Amino acid sequence: MVRGALAKLRPADGFGLVELLVALLILNIGLLSLMAVFVSGSTALRVASRRATASTLADSQLELYRALTYSAIALDSDSVNATDSTYRNDSAIGGSLGSLVTTTTGCSGLPNQCVPSRTVTGPDHGTYRVDTYIVMQTQGAGRALKVVTVVVRNPLSLAGLPLAREVGTFDQATGT
């Protein structure tokens, strides 16, 4: 009886080395694929977080202008002249700093709404560059408009690509 049982067990040799290596290879491919998904998801969350923070910063900068009267909306001319090429090449001004609304008197002490380009720390403790452009436009029957464009960039990016861009229009007829 013992011999019969041993004879039945002998043909079942179990896994060989080749089968074990194939099984480990398949497991390894599956785990690496899963890890790539997690890394991709983490990167997407980080980018979305930066864009959301940039959008919040752009909105808070635009709120500074919403609190002003029409005549007080302007940028400091000395600060505009001191800006770099990233600021000067934005599509909001069409390549001409002369189209910007500037003043030399209404920005004493340089509050944030008068500074054309500044670096801020966001609520996520990241560094952001907030660029503001104010351009005059005429609409309809000669109504003067000031178009305020706020662009938030990642200052660490070599290209200075925008993370957020918000535009507000202010009408002379209403005064705000």
β-pairing verdict for 162-171 and 143-153? antiparallel
Residue 3 located in a structural domain: no
Residue 2 located in a structural domain: no
Claim: this prediction has a pTM higher than 0.85: no
Residue 35 located in a structural domain: yes
Residue 8 located in a structural domain: no
- pLDDT tens for the chain, 176 residues long, are 566 665 565 555 666 888 889 999 999 999 999 999 999 999 999 999 999 999 999 999 999 888 888 888 888 888 888 888 888 888 888 767 777 887 765 566 667 778 888 899 999 999 999 999 988 888 777 788 889 999 999 888 767 789 999 999 998 877 66
Rounded CA separation 62/148 (Å):
8
Task: Give which of 172, 153, 150 is closest to 163, Cα–Cα.
Answer: 153
Q: Are 135 and 92 in contact (CB under 8 A)?
A: yes
Alpha-carbon torsion (165, 169, 175, 176), positive or negative: negative
pLDDT digits (tens, 9 = 90+) for 79-110: 888 888 888 888 888 767 777 887 765 566 66
Residue 71 located in a structural domain: yes
Q: How many domains does the chain have?
A: 1
Q: Which domain holds residue 107?
A: 15-171
Residue 74 located in a structural domain: yes
Residue 41 located in a structural domain: yes
Residue 1 located in a structural domain: no
Rounded CA separation 68/161 (Å):
29
Q: Which residue has the tokens 């080395």?
A: 17
In whole angstroms, how far apart are CA 88 and each of 79, 81, 83, 91, 146?
Answer: 12, 9, 7, 9, 18
